[in-house]
């Protein structure tokens, strides 16, 4: 379980890293258009909502966590509970390190690029489907996709609500479109993606449920 959890967090961390790299490249070439929104639409609301005290509290929690881990590690031979915690952490780290043991790294990178290309294509198609946003180009669709990805870091189920707020703000502040256009775009993009995930997940579950009994029957 520890290794599986570490692998799941690694997968999410790889997604975040990919988003940040692509966003940084886009901002370098399109800063005049998208830079102001990143400051006024993302950073300033986040700073005003949380305040500097929250960042200070997070720093203190981080320092206390590091100190606690140091104590647990150096007392693992003395206390059984500390030894058990160290064992769990090692399993977690082994899960994170799976990226270094991937046998087919090139295929992994290809699939990563393909997945994000499909997300980009979805953004392009939704943009083209709405008359109010049909004039937006590929770079606009890519930026909308990337800022929408920030909703995944919010403690909301599937980014519900947060994604719609970010997209609406981008449509209003950058492109001068009405809030209703932003909400309509967000609903089309977010809910269609959720529907595809639900259908794919159900199909995968049914496939696995059928495959396992067949494999057991063949083994007999």
pLDDT at 216 over 60: no
pLDDT at 217 over 70: no
Give the separation between CA 38 and CA 44, rounded to whole angstroms. Answer: 9
> Phi, psi (5° rounding) for residue 149?
-65, -20
Residue 140 CB burial class (10 angstroms; 0-12, 13-18, ≥19): buried
What is residue 99's predicted lDDT score, i.e. its pLDDT? 65
User: What's the mean pLDDT in 48-76?
Assistant: 75
pLDDT digits (tens, 9 = 90+) for 16-41: 777 778 777 777 766 666 666 666 66
Q: Which two tokens stand for residue 117?
A: 């290309």
The model's confidence at residue 177, banded by pLDDT at 50, 70 and 90, is confident
Buried b (16+ CB within 10 A) or exposed e, 113-138: eeebeebbebbbebbeeeebbeebee
pLDDT digits (tens, 9 = 90+) for 143-163: 888 888 777 655 556 566 778
Q: What residue has token string 């290809």?
A: 110
pLDDT at 118 over 80: yes
* Contacts of 63 by beta carbon, 8 Å cutoff, 6+ apart: none
96 close to 9: Cβ distance less than 8 angstroms: yes
pTM value? 0.61
143 close to 30: Cβ distance less than 8 angstroms: yes
pLDDT at 219 over 60: no
Q: Computed over its alpha carbons, how large is the radius of gyration of the chain?
A: 22
């Amino acid at each position: 379980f520890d290794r599986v959890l570490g692998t799941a967090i690694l997968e999410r961390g790889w997604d975040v890293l990919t988003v940040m790299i692509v966003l940084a490249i886009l901002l370098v070439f399109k800063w005049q258009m998208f830079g102001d929104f990143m400051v006024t639409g993302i950073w300033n609301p986040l700073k005003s909502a949380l305040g500097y005290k929250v960042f200070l509290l997070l720093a203190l929690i981080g320092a206390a966590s590091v100190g606690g881990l140091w104590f647990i590690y150096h007392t693992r031979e003395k206390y059984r509970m500390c030894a058990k915690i160290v064992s769990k952490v090692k399993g977690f780290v082994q899960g994170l390190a799976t990226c270094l043991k991937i046998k087919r790294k090139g295929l992994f990178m290809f699939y990563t690029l393909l997945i994000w290309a499909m997300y980009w294509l979805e953004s392009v198609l939704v943009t083209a489907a709405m008359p109010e946003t049909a004039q937006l180009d590929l770079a606009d669709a890519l930026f909308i996709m990337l800022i929408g990805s920030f909703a995944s870091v919010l403690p909301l189920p599937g980014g519900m609500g947060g994604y719609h707020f970010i997209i609406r703000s981008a449509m209003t502040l950058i492109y001068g479109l009405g809030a209703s256009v932003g909400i309509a775009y967000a609903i089309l993009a977010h809910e269609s993606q959720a529907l595809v995930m639900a259908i794919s997940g159900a199909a995968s579950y049914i496939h696995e449920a059928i495959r396992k009994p067949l494999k057991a029957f063949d083994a007999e």
